[in-house]
Structure 1
Amino acid sequence: MLTPRHQALLATLAGMTVGVAVFGTVLAINGNFSGDDPAATKVVASQPTQTPTSGDGLQADSLQFSSQPFGADNAPATAEVPSTWKSSSGGTRPRYVDPTGVWQIRFDTRGSSQSPDQLVDNRARSIEERDLKVISRDNGTLIYTYTDQTRGPRMGLSSFRPSEDGKRTLVEITVGGRPQDEAGLRTVLQRATDSLQLSAGAGDTRPN
């Protein structure tokens, strides 16, 4: 005959057995115990951002270039720009922007009756940006820095390419980025300048 103490012990063991059985049943229903549920074990990897950090400069040796057509129908032009930089429009004033929106290059093939040096002086006087600092204005190219209200420190290089006699300007090429991008921006500008092809009818349609 079982004493009250033995009866209590048996009741406790029975309760534990039922609890284990129920717990195992719940796990089996949920399918999580064995880890067979792909949704439960899937790890979502964070996607790296393409936007350069403040310390990263544009690396010239990482750029690949392709020739892009633009200009007027009666005065077409071509030049090489970084392959991943895209333009939403062509015409005489196209602008190519990298996917992050940090760097860009634009062309103006309307030309001008003024010389490159005159246009450099005009551009330097017309820029209305905070903290404007002119770095140089040699050989028809204006290099400057300023502070953009939303994007912070910026750098621009505007190059005005002369006619054969040097008295007129055939095309303007401007690249933009940040001060730490200077080496890469110079490479983009030089590549566009060296590869620029203008038709015989280009130039002198700008009103200045």
Structure 2
Amino acid sequence: MLTPRHQALLMTLAGMTVGVAVFGAVVAVNGGNPFSAHETPAGIVSPAGSGTPSRGDGLQADQLQYVEQSFGTSAEPVSAEVPAGWKSAQDGTRPKFVDPTGVWQVRFDTRGSKQSPDQLVAARERSIREPGLTVLSRDNGTLVYTYTDTTRGPRMGLSRFISLDDGRNTAVEITVGGRPQDEAGLRAILEHATETLEIPVDDNDDRPN
């Protein structure tokens, strides 16, 4: 016959057994990491702290907020509006703004070119060496494409080349990048950056090519 002390000990051991079983189930669900039960699953970016609204189905265009960013040079300052909370990874004539999660980005190139937007679209298409490249469109000086990044998986890019002289030369390139499911948000960012772009016009400029 079990004494009250033995009965209490058995009940404690039974409780520990159940706890271990539950703990093991949590570990299995979360890939073996016992501390990741509340972490965001891979491939889904949490909007908390990122400043960029997102759901599992992609970047949300209708909730984006924008702030003006200045770049270029002191002699030729350029500005445009980019999503709020995105930080500049580099500045000058080729600034790149990246969201805190590293999933999305927008890049500008203000050096200009003597080539037309259509010529640069063709050149950009030829230059992409990523696996699984699929060109979705190449209209109006904008190249839209998808590919597979060996580390991040499926990606989407939209590169727009903007002319200030009826398509003879190119003044600015704007490229946005993310995932295929982010297409609506990426297009919204590209359009907003284009609409808010402010660049000085120099009739005697010396473009590199």
TM-score normalised by the chain length of structure 1 = 0.73
Shift of the 194–205 alpha-carbon distance from structure 1 to 2, 3 Å rule, reads: same
Shift of the 69–130 alpha-carbon distance from structure 1 to 2, 3 Å rule, reads: same
8 Å contact kept, 2:158–2:175: yes
Q: Following superposition of structure 1 onto structure 2, how do residues 144-159 of structure 1 map, counting pairs within 5 Å? A: 144-159=145-160
2:112 aligned residue: 111
1:79 aligned residue: 80
Matched to 2:44, the amino acid is: T
Q: Secondary structure at the match of 2:171?
A: strand
Q: Secondary structure at the match of 1:150?
A: coil
Bigger relative contact order, structure 1 or 2 (CA pairs below 8 A, ≥6 apart): 1
2:169 aligned residue: 168
Structure 2 alignment gaps of length 5 or more: 6-34, 46-55
Structure 1 alignment gaps of length 5 or more: 1-15, 20-43
1:3 aligned residue: none
How far off its partner does 1:115 sit? 0.2
TM-score normalised by the chain length of structure 2 = 0.73
How far off its partner does 1:164 sit? 2.3
How far off its partner does 1:59 sit? 0.3
Alpha-carbon RMSD: 2.5
8 Å contact kept, 1:133–1:144: yes
Q: Secondary structure at the match of 2:162?
A: strand
2:60 is the alignment partner of 1:59 = yes
What is the alpha-carbon distance in structure 2 between the residues aligned to residue 161 and residue 124 of structure 1? 16
Matched to 1:167, the amino acid is: R
Runs of 4+ in 1 over 2 A off after TM superposition: 46-52, 200-208
Q: Secondary structure at the match of 1:124?
A: helix
Number of aligned residues? 167
What is the alpha-carbon distance in structure 2 between the residues aligned to residue 77 and residue 163 of structure 1? 14
Shift of the 115–202 alpha-carbon distance from structure 1 to 2, 3 Å rule, reads: same
What is the alpha-carbon distance in structure 2 between the residues aligned to residue 109 and residue 202 of structure 1? 15
How far off its partner does 1:73 sit? 1.5
- Report the identity percentage: 62
1:134 aligned residue: 135
What is the alpha-carbon distance in structure 1 between the residues aligned to residue 147 and residue 199 of structure 2? 31
Matched to 1:110, the amino acid is: R
8 Å contact kept, 1:70–1:90: yes
What is the alpha-carbon distance in structure 2 between the residues aligned to residue 163 and residue 179 of structure 1? 30
